[in-house]
Every structure is written in structure tokens, then in C-alpha cells.
Structure 1
Amino acid sequence: MMSNLFSIFDPSTNLFNLSMNWVSTILGVMFIPYSFWLMPNRHYFMWNFILTKLHNEFKTLLKNNYFKGSTFIFISLFSFIMFNNFLGLFPYIFTSTSHLTLSLSISLPLWLSFMLYGWINNYQHMFSHMIPQGTPAILMPFMVLIETISNIIRPGTLAVRLTANMIAGHLLMTLLSSTSSNISFYMIMFLILIQVLLLILESAVAMIQSYVIAILSTLYSSEVN
């Protein structure tokens, strides 16, 4: 029995006194040779189509900041987050993206690199970005304060958005499944149907959240130049 509702997210799997939960984060490496050693199939063409569409979209968002290979950072970010989101939907697999440890480790270095690059190489643009065009002189100090705060909390909002969305769906599925031992057979059948629909919803959330994180990171990078 769970001592805490959030205990389903605790890293608790041990093998030879080693925590094996975070191994799920790097399982994607096992699937990389798949596209190189096997004949191209529908799965390969579909994934290649998605990456091409993302490349074109990120290239448009980056505008003047685009150079060869710059979109690969955000495509890799999208692929990594989506893989870990999907992996967490399988039974007995640890959801690493439901922890701020991982999501902050992704968003904070990205944000810091964008800010350092912008303030070192293009500080005039960074200063002008703090005051929207047409702002009255009396409101300028408040606008600078508001823009500074909104800029500082960006990595936190990126991390919390991903973590909260992953936790919410998993908690709802856990709460519904924990009631199955005290209900009738017909209610269990109805509960299974609800769980299947929730699983489809969580699959959509896994894709949408990885896309949102990648798009927002691209937009943040396009603002520094």
C-alpha cells in the first residue's frame, strides 16, 4: 500500500544497492542503430518526416539566428523528452521527466547559455528588449522589473510545465486503478475503458509537451539576437 500518493514517483528500484531508475533515461541509445542497420520501413519514414517538419519550423522561428546544424539542438531536445514521456507510460518503468531534477537540468543550461550569449555579444538588443516600444517614460522602471522577473523565471516555468503535466496524468491513472479492488465486475470494465482513454490522452500529452518545450526553447534563443 502506498504511504504517500506521490510515492509512485519515488526512485526506489535497487539492484546490487544501485538505483536503476534513471537508466530508463538513456534507453533511447539502444534504438539509435535501428534506423542504420535495418531496411527503411514505415516507422523510419514517419520519424524522418516528423524531424524534417520540425527542422523547417525551427528554421523559420530562428530567423536571422539560423545557421547550419542549429536546429539539431532543439530536434534532439524534442526527441529526448518525447521518448522519456512515452517510456513512462509503460508499466514498471520510471518516468524521469516527472522529476524537476531532469527537467531543470535541461531547461537551466539552455536558458543560461542563451542569456550569456545575448548579454556578452548583443547587450544593446537585450536592454532594448526589456522595454517594449511605445512604453511611457513613467512606466519604464516597472516594465524593466517585470521583464527581468519574467526572464529569470523562464527555466523554472519550462521545467514545472513539463513535470506538472507528466505528474497530473500519472496521478489520475494511479487514483483510478487503486479503486479497482472494491468495485463490481461491470464497474471494472468501465474503469478499464476510462484507463484506455486516459492512456491515449497521456500519449497525446507526451507529444504535445515535448513539442511545446522545444518550441519555447527555440523562441527564447531567437530573442537574444
Structure 2
Amino acid sequence: MMANLFSIFEPSSSIFTLSLNWTSTLLGSLFIPYLYWVSPSRWSLLWSKIINTLHSEFKALLTPSHTGTTTLLIGLFSLIMFNNFLGLLPYVFTSSSHMVMTLSLSLPLWITLMLFGWINHTQHMFSHLVPQGTPFILMPFMVLIETISNIIRPGTLAVRLAANMIAGHLLLTLLGNTGASLSYSILMILIFSQILLLILESAVAIIQSYVFAVLSALYTSEIN
């Protein structure tokens, strides 16, 4: 039962051992190019409004020398959000529910920040290991705690996104599999609850992509 339940997350379509389901990761990019040649619509105006709002928020979080990073963060937000939403459609593989995908986004970003910070701002990075006002006796423990918390950052980013997407999909699958054995009246309640859950998952798709991008911006802001 458990193996069948988690099999919905396994890439199954393939040609010559090459998995085709991972191509869904790039499907979101198909929605963007037409904005450059189609006359402005409500969708394009809404997306432009979202991008401008995100740019203002990320710019407020980052130092003036890092404001160009907002383009990277907005692209990261867009990629994750498109994948989260596409995963809610039937028969579309949810790549953002896999650690391979989420860790591939968080780990290179974290490694780049660490290399840049320790090479160019070594003293500032050392000062982050010991918060101001820490008693002398507690300094070794604080260095250890801050080092561990820094090392697990890419893992927490990846696990948070993947776990939230998996949890919602599993719940939708579990409720959907019980529909065949229910009476008509209870089935109506199940369909209504599925619709509410789908709305919740749509909100989670946006929130998790926003949280991922904001936390990345906060980690970047620590590298002065």
C-alpha cells in the first residue's frame, strides 16, 4: 500500500531509459515568452505587477551592492511556482516534490554565497559565528551552533519545499482513492473537501515558492 502510494512521485515515462517526466520542470518557461510578443493582457499585467512587487521586497532585504540579485531570486520564485502549480494538474510530474530538484536549487546557491562571503568578507563571516554580547564562556558553543545552523540551511530549504508539496499530493491521493467505495451523499462531501484542499494546495504552491525566495534573499543579505 505504501509503495503504491508513493509511486505517484516516481518518474515513469521514459524513452531509452531517459525519463521524460523531468521535462515538466521546463514547462513553466513556455508560459513566459509570449509576454514579449502578444499585446498586454490581464495575465501579463498581473505578472508584471507581481514581479515589480517582488523586486521591491527583495531590494529592501538586500544591500545596495546586491540589488542585481533580485533578478536571480525572481527567476527562482517563478521556476518553483510554475512547477508547483503544474504539479497540481492531472498526469503532470511534480518535480518540486523531489529532493533532487529542490537540493539542486538550494545547494549551489548556498555554496556560492559561502565561497563569496568567506573569500571576500572573511572577518564579517567570522563575526556572524559569535552574536554580539555573547559571554566568553559560551563562545565555543555559539560557534558550534551557528556553524551547524549554517551548514543545514540548504537542506532545510530543500526539505521544506519538497515535504510541503508531497504532503498535499499524498492527502489528495488518499482522499481520491476512497471515492469508489463511498455512497453518493458522502461522495459529494468528499468532492467538496477535495476542492477546498486543491485551493489550499494552490495557496501552498505560491507560499512555498515565496518562502524559498525570501529565505534565499535573507541568506544573501548576510554576505556584506
**Equivalent position of 1:154 in the other structure:** 153
> Within 2, Cα distance between the matches of 1:121 and 1:18?
41
Match of 1:129 in 2: 128
Name the counterpart of 1:43: 43
Stretch moving more, 73-82 or 179-188: 179-188
Q: CA deviation at 1:31?
A: 1.8
| Structure 1 residue 10, shift from structure 2 partner | 0.7
Report the Cα distance in structure 2 between the residues aligned to 1:132 and 1:15, rounded to whole angstroms.
54
In structure 2, what is the equivalent of residue 211 of structure 1? 210
CA-based RMSD: 1.3
Instruction: Provide Cα deviations, 1:200-223, integer angstroms capped at 9, x if missing partner.
Output: 000000000000000000000110
Q: How does 1:167-178 map to 2 (within 5 A)?
A: 167-178=166-177
Residue 92 of structure 1 aligns with an amino acid whose one-letter code is Y
Match of 2:119 in 1: 120
Q: Which amino acid aligns with 1:197?
A: L
Bigger shift: residues 19-28 or 193-202: 19-28
Counterpart of 1:84 in 2: which secondary structure?
A: helix
Distance 1:99 1:182 in 2: 31
Percent identical residues: 66
Match of 1:62 in 2: 62
Give the Cα separation in 2 of the matches to 1:164 and 1:192. 24
> Structure 1 residue 193 and structure 2 residue 195: aligned?
no
Whole-angstrom distance in 1 between the partners of 2:95 and 2:127: 38
Aligned to 1:53: 53
User: Which residue of 1 is the match for residue 24 of structure 2?
Assistant: 24
SS at match of 1:12: coil
Relative distance call for 1:223 and 1:195 in structure 2 (3 A) is same
Secondary structure of the residue aligned to 1:78 is: helix
- The aligned residue for residue 106 of structure 2 is 107
Q: Distance between the aligned counterparts of 1:190 and 1:49, measured in 2?
A: 37
| TM-score of the aligned structures, taking structure 2 as reference length | 0.97
Give the drift of 1:16: 5.7
* Amino acid aligned to 1:149: I
Which residue identity is paired with 2:19? S
Matches within 5 A, 1:136-151: 136-151=135-150
Aligned to 1:90, what secondary structure does the other structure show? Answer: coil
Cα distance in 2 for residues equivalent to 1:114 and 1:18: 33
Task: Kindly indicate whether the alpha-carbon contact (under 8 Å) linking 1:65 and 1:222 is maintained by their aligned counterparts in 2.
Answer: no
1:143 shift after superposition: 0.1
CA–CA separation in structure 2 for the residues paired with 1:146 and 1:4: 40
The runs of 5 or more residues in structure 1 that have no matched partner are: none
